[in-house]
Structure 1
Amino acid sequence: MKLLILGATGPTGRHVVDLAVRSGDSVTAFVRNPATLGDLAERVTPVTGDATSQHDLTAAAVGHDAIVSALGRGSSVRADGLFTRASTAVTGAARKADVPRLVWLSSFGVGHTFGWSSSAQKLIYGTLLRSIYADKAIADESIRSSGLDWTVVYPTRLTNGPAKGTYRADDRLPMKGNPTISRADVAAFLHAAARGGEWIHRTAVISD
């Protein structure tokens, strides 16, 4: 399978790239700085560009079967319009390049999933993460109305622990406290979703 991975050098995207390469996929890593790919640079096709530029993304997307976005803001709690701008660019690029499949990483608590959150989660989402989550909510709706074969993925709080392979995934999950999931498990779900059809036109909530 030919995959274009956005946010390929980020903490979750790097796991997606690793999995895709090990699975024998042909991987294009869309990055701002190819040097950050390290030892993976020789096993993928690095493409330098701006994830908010439809022109850059269209050029990179041609000939691929699916786009997986693991874009994030790192430790910043300011959105700066990244997700809304990137969602517009990537959906436009996918249509122009005739790439039907898009798997988009969001966060649990964004949009309609806020109402399913526990009290502890709502306190965090409504204060510290308010700016980023508002931006992501607009982006997610843009993905869902794109006409593509989309999947929007809502993981709970991300950790840097190892993959367990025992996470839960459903359209909705019960929440207590502030549950977590490792980035490695999130990457496994993103990769599997891109390769299969089970989650097309669905929003997936995933958590340990």
Structure 2
Amino acid sequence: MKIVVLGAAGNVGRHTVLAAVAAGHEVVAFARRPESVPPMLGVRVVAGSVEDEVAMTAAFAGADAVISAVGPAFRMGSRKPLDFMQRVLPRITAAVKQAGVPRFVLVSAFGAGDTLAQASGLARLVYRVGTAPLFEDKALAERALPTSGITYTVAYPVNLKEAPPLPAAAVKPLGKVGSVPGLPALPFANVGQALVELAEDRSTESKRVLITTPTGWKPLS
């Protein structure tokens, strides 16, 4: 597969590029700061902004999947309203559609939108105090996906950290998740691998999935 990774210089994007290369895919790393993307065999780095629909459409040409790991610079606890994803997601999906890319995987965050209801009491408190503007921006932007005219999957990873990868992550359709106890934290490497697997898996089309630790979820009873 040819996979384009947006936000390739960020933590999630960088690990997604690594996972895609390890899986044998051809990778295009699209980044605002291309110098921040480590040189890797099998990776073509393209400089560009997710504000630039024309540049993205060109970069997406011939791709089998686009994985978006973009997000705004955000300081935990900030109360400043955000509209970053509301501005850029329509441009990204328009470029995906114009380029004829058959798969789009969007990285959201567990706790955004209606996923907050599946979080623990502690997590709800943390999210409301620490990340409310960020999560609201994501939730509002994602409302337009069903009418975007593209085939998409939305991934909701739990809290992420830089750490050695776990043997595996749990990737579960949100409709089968009853709750996410506590505040599970997953290594970036695991979420990168999960995102590549979602791009490969056509059965996840038009689905919303949780990415968490193996014990970081409980099924819907």
For Structure 1 versus Structure 2, the TM-score category normalised by the shorter chain is over 0.9
- Name the structure 1 match of 2:43: 44
Find the residue that maps to 2:144 and give its secondary structure.
helix
Identity %: 31
Q: CA deviation at 1:57?
A: 1.1
Q: Within 5 A, what are the aligned runs for 1:1-208?
A: 1-40=1-40, 43-73=42-72, 76-77=75-76, 80-172=82-174, 173=177, 174-208=179-213
Find the residue that maps to 1:133 and give its secondary structure.
helix
**CA deviation vs aligned residue, 1:150-183 (integer Å, no higher than 9, x gap):** 1000011111112213322212332222112111
Find the residue that maps to 2:122 and give its secondary structure.
helix
Structure 1 residues not aligned, in runs of 5+:
none
User: For the residues of structure 1 that align with 2:81 and 2:37, how far apart are their CA atoms?
Assistant: 24
Amino acid at match of 1:150: Y
Greater shift, 193-202 or 69-78, is seen at 69-78
User: For the residues of structure 1 that align with 2:56 and 2:126, how far apart are their CA atoms?
Assistant: 33
Q: Given that residues 6 and 29 in structure 1 are in contact (C-alpha distance below 8 angstroms), is that contact kept between their aligned partners in structure 2?
A: yes
Find the residue that maps to 2:11 and give its secondary structure.
coil
Greater shift, 54-63 or 67-76, is seen at 67-76
Find the residue that maps to 1:205 and give its secondary structure.
strand
Q: How many residues align?
A: 207
User: For the residues of structure 2 that align with 1:25 and 1:102, how far apart are their CA atoms?
Assistant: 16
Q: Given that residues 73 and 79 in structure 1 are in contact (C-alpha distance below 8 angstroms), is that contact kept between their aligned partners in structure 2?
A: no
- Name the structure 1 match of 2:219: none
Amino acid at match of 2:209: A
Amino acid at match of 2:158: T
CA RMSD of aligned residues (A): 1.6
Amino acid at match of 2:112: V
TM-score w.r.t. length of structure 1: 0.93
